[in-house]
Amino acid sequence: MDVLDDILASLRLTGGVVIDGGFSGEFCVHAEFTPQHCAPFFPLPDTLISYHYVRSGRLIIQIDDQPAVTLEAGSIAILPRNDPHILASRCGLPAAEVDEIGWITDEGVHHVSAGTNGRRADVWCGFLGTAKSSEHPLLDALPALLTLNVTQGQAQWLDSSMRFVAEQNPPSETVARLAELLLSQAIREYVEQMPAEAQGWLRGLVDPAVSKALSIIHSRYAEDLDVEGIAREVGVSRSVLGDRFAELIGEPPMRYCAKWRMRVAANKLRDGKDNAASIAYAVGFNSEAAFNRAFKREFGEPPATWRRKFELAD
C-alpha cells in the first residue's frame, strides 16, 4: 500500500449511490449534495465528496466561473469538497433548483428527471463522506473538480464495477470502497499531469525526497523516528528534507509524523477492538499516560472520552 492508499484508507470513507438522474434535451440543474439527499439512506458525514458517473449520453458540468467540462458516457466527475455546480446540456441555460425538478424515491435511491424531448443523458450520483476527525490536508489540496474516464486505460475495469454497484445495490461498504478506488485513480492521473514546477501537498507525493519520507512515516509510525534518520534513508541532508517537507506538506516531518500516529490511533479506537493501553504501544508510545496526553493535544479530549462520543453517535 502506498502513501495515497494509506491516506484514503485512513479517511474511513463511507458513501453510496443515492441519485439516479435521467436528463434529456435541453436541461440545466443546480447540483450539490445536501442533507435531504443523504438522510433517507445514510447518516450525514461531516465532510462530503460528491461524484457523478455518466452511464449514457453526454452533459456539461461547471463550477462557478470555472471553464465548463464536457462529460461523455463512461466519465466520472469527482468534487472533493462538494462545491455547488450545474449539470447541463449546454452552457448559458437558466439553472433549475433541485426542488423544481421531478423526484421519486424508491428502492434506496432518488430518481430525478429533468429536461425537454431530445437526446438522453443518464447519470448516477453518489457521495463519499468522512468525519472531521479523519480529515486530511490532501482533500484541501485537490482542485474543485477531478474527472476520470473509466472506459479506457488503467481505469477501464471501474466501468463494469460502477454498473454493478448501481444496478445490484450492494452493501454501503462495497460502494464506499469502489468510490475510494475511483478517487484514488483520479488523484493519480491528476498528479501525473501536474507541471514539474507545481507546489503544495500533492507535489509532495511525487517529490523524490518528500514522497520517500512520507512512505517511511506512514509505514513505520510506531518506530522511534527522527528527522536525521529519515533524511539519511532518503539520501538528503536533514536541512534539505526539513525545508522541502515543510514547503510542500506545510509542516515539519516530525509534526506530520505525530499527527499521522494520532490518526492511526483514532481509527483503532473507533474500531473498538483494542483498549487504549494496547493502542498506545501499537502506535509507538512507551506508556498509556504519554499517549493520553498526546491524543488530547491533537483531538482536544482523552482517548476514552473520544471513543465514548463515537460509540454514542453510532
Residues 223-275 pLDDT 10s? 999 999 999 999 999 999 999 999 999 999 999 999 999 999 999 998 888 89
Among 34-38, 181-185, 211-215, 255-259, the minimum mean pLDDT is found in 34-38
The alpha carbon dihedral of 185, 77, 48, 246 has a sign of: positive
Segment 151-201, tens digit of pLDDT:
776 667 777 777 776 666 666 677 777 888 888 888 988 988 887 767 789
CB 262 within 8 A of CB 295: yes
CB burial of residue 181 (10 Å; 0-12, 13-18, 19+): middle
Among 68-82, 88-102, 104-118, 206-220, the minimum mean pLDDT is found in 104-118
Average pLDDT of the chain to the nearest whole number = 87
The alpha carbon dihedral of 87, 90, 94, 99 has a sign of: negative
Tell the residue number behind the cell numbers 429533468, with chain if given: 114
CB 78 within 8 A of CB 148: yes
Tell the residue number behind the cell numbers 432518488, with chain if given: 110
CB 78 within 8 A of CB 49: yes
Phi (first) and psi of residue 113, to 5 degrees:
-135, 145
Q: What is the pLDDT, as a whole number, of residue 39?
A: 65
Give the model's confidence band at 280: pLDDT under 50 very low, under 70 low, under 90 confident, else very high.
Answer: very high
pLDDT at residue 93 tops 70: yes
Among 78-87, 120-129, 248-257, the minimum mean pLDDT is found in 120-129
Q: What is the pLDDT, as a whole number, of residue 254?
A: 97
Q: What is the pLDDT, as a whole number, of residue 107?
A: 64
- For residue 40, give every residue at least 6 positions away whose Cβ sits within 8 Å of its Cβ, in sequence order, or none: 105, 110
pLDDT at residue 132 tops 90: no
Q: What is the chain's length?
A: 314
Give the model's confidence band at 41: pLDDT under 50 very low, under 70 low, under 90 confident, else very high.
Answer: low
Query: Which pTM value belongs to this model?
Result: 0.85
Instruction: Read off the pLDDT of each residue in 60-85 and give the average, rounded to a whole number.
Output: 92
Partner residues linked to 56 by β-bridges? 122
Give the model's confidence band at 40: pLDDT under 50 very low, under 70 low, under 90 confident, else very high.
Answer: low
Q: What is the pLDDT, as a whole number, of residue 201?
A: 92
Percentage of the chain with pLDDT > 70?
89
